[in-house]
Amino acid sequence: MVSAAVIGAGPAGLMAAQVMAEAGLTVTVYDAKPSPARKFLMAGKSGLNLTFDGGRDKLMAGYGDRADALRPALEAFDNRAVQHWAEGLGIALFTGSTGRVFPEAMKASPLLRAWLARLDQAGVTLRTGWRWTGWSGDGLQFDTKEGAQRVLADVTVLACGGASWSRLGSDGAWADWVPSVPFQPANVGLRVEWSAHMEKFRGAPIKGVAWRAGDVTSRGEAVISGDGLEGGGIYTVSAAVRAGRGLLVDLLPDLKAQDVAERLSRPRGKDSLSNHLRKSLRLTPIKLALLREWAGPLPKAPEVLAATIKGLNVPVQGLGDMDGAISTAGGVPFDALDDGYMLRARPGVFCAGEMLDWEAPTGGWLLTACVATGAWAGRHAAGWVR
């Protein structure tokens, strides 16, 4: 029998194992943690955004300048294929108002249990508590409770994850022995220094705004944290901020600047400026607080104040810590791989998932690319070894 080793029991690794087992290989999956897919389960605690409902153009648009490198894998296993795969495991799905697809149970654990059961039926062996530490000659070297172990396999798929959420297994330690470019945080919060008067808004959501960094705009929500901003709206623009683009927020994205200025020009009588802003523009307390926090003394001229409201500068001091990021950029560069994601420098070793050098926004793109690249690497690994 032809033997295959998979390093990493996350979505990419499990999908590679499934494809290779279906091709007739004897597959063993190794994971450093005591149980598989820990990051996948943690992501599922907030609802498990499995993928999204949309066309091929929308799919590819999420991957920016890595779209061409990912295209073959994503066309072979796209967002609709992800839905069919989950439904094939007996998982009922629904599509939300924004097009995001979730399991009806809103959890990852039922899907993972069904998936592991299918892999077990296919003869896949799962070994947990086996930490891969590189190669020993032609063999894979592991640290285990029983001491160092060496494994020989006919073909290997690496699906070791990126470098965020290290407590769940993605610590990026493999970069010491696999070609890689430095990791950077992606889908990460931004550091902002708040004044004391913003303390009462800690944990409060910021809704109905538009965040802008370079040519990237997000209408998603954000949350005020103790040291900055978190949330989907911020994660979408974090890559542009990382690239050096300044961040602006439009507090009234559904109004044109001219309309805002016209409303501000109306007589305010004895109202204070804050009350005038609240009444004429229906600014919520948190929007008023942000305006005061970041604009300083408010300009009196309606046109100037309107421009400030429509493009308020956010004084970002940096990105959040990489280990707290949802995902990472960096990892194995595509020019180190052939078209089947096999390492050019080590024939018979394929790479998949977050350890590849790509990034994408939250909203289904991350998980879709993980399972797609896992399937792609698994298919080409099975073909190569035969």
Q: List the structure tokens of 29.
A: 């999956």
Instruction: Please tell me whether residues 17 and 116 are part of one structural domain.
Output: yes
Same domain, 157 and 199: no
Q: How high is the pLDDT of residue 270?
A: 85
Residue 44 in this model has a pLDDT that exceeds 80: no
* The pLDDT of residue 159: 98
Domain that holds residue 358: 3-185+325-385
Is residue 12 located within the same domain as residue 149? yes
Same domain, 305 and 343: no
- For residues 363 and 307, membership in a common domain is answered with no
Residue 271 has pLDDT above 90, yes or no: no
Tokens of 310: 């429509």
Q: Predicted confidence band at 385 (pLDDT cuts at 50, 70, 90)?
A: very high
Give me the sign of the Cα torsion angle 289, 293, 297, 298: negative
**If you average pLDDT over residues 142-161, what whole number do you get?**
97
CATH of the domain at 311: 2.40.30.10
Q: Please name the amino acid found at residue 333.
A: P
Element (H, E) at 249: strand 247-250
Do 165 and 261 lie in a common domain?
no
Same domain, 129 and 34: yes
Q: Kindly report the backbone phi and psi dihedral angles of residue 185, in degrees, each rounded to the nearest multiple of 5, phi listed first.
A: -70, 140
Q: Are residues 136 and 236 in the same domain?
A: no
Output the pLDDT for position 45: 78
Per-residue pLDDT of 161-205, as tens digits, reads 999 999 999 999 999 999 999 999 999 999 999 999 999 999 999
Backbone angles phi, psi at 102, to 5 degrees: -130, 155
* Domain end point (choices 319, 348, 373): 319
Domain total of the chain: 2
Point out the domain boundary residue: 270, 304, 319.
319
Asked whether residue 227 falls in the same domain as residue 298, the answer is yes
What is the torsional sign of CA 320, 324, 329, 332? positive
Q: Which two tokens stand for residue 331?
A: 């990892």
Same domain, 194 and 281: yes
79-129 pLDDT, tens digit per residue, is: 999 999 999 999 999 999 889 999 999 999 999 999 999 999 999 999 999
Other Cβ atoms closer than 10 A to 302: 16
- One domain, residues 50 and 8: yes
Residues 5, 128, 50, 109: is their CA dihedral positive or negative? positive
**Rg (the chain; Cα; Å):** 24
What does each C-alpha distance from 338 to 229, 303, 350 come to in angstroms?
39, 56, 9
Mean pLDDT over the full length of the chain: 96
Query: CA 379, CA 275: separation in Å to the nearest integer?
Result: 63
Helix residue spans in 94-148 (DSSP H):
109-121
Q: Indicate the pLDDT class of residue 334, thresholds 50, 70 and 90.
A: very high
Q: Which of 271, 302, 319 is the last residue of a domain?
A: 319
If pLDDT is split at 50, 70 and 90, which confidence band does 16 have?
A: very high
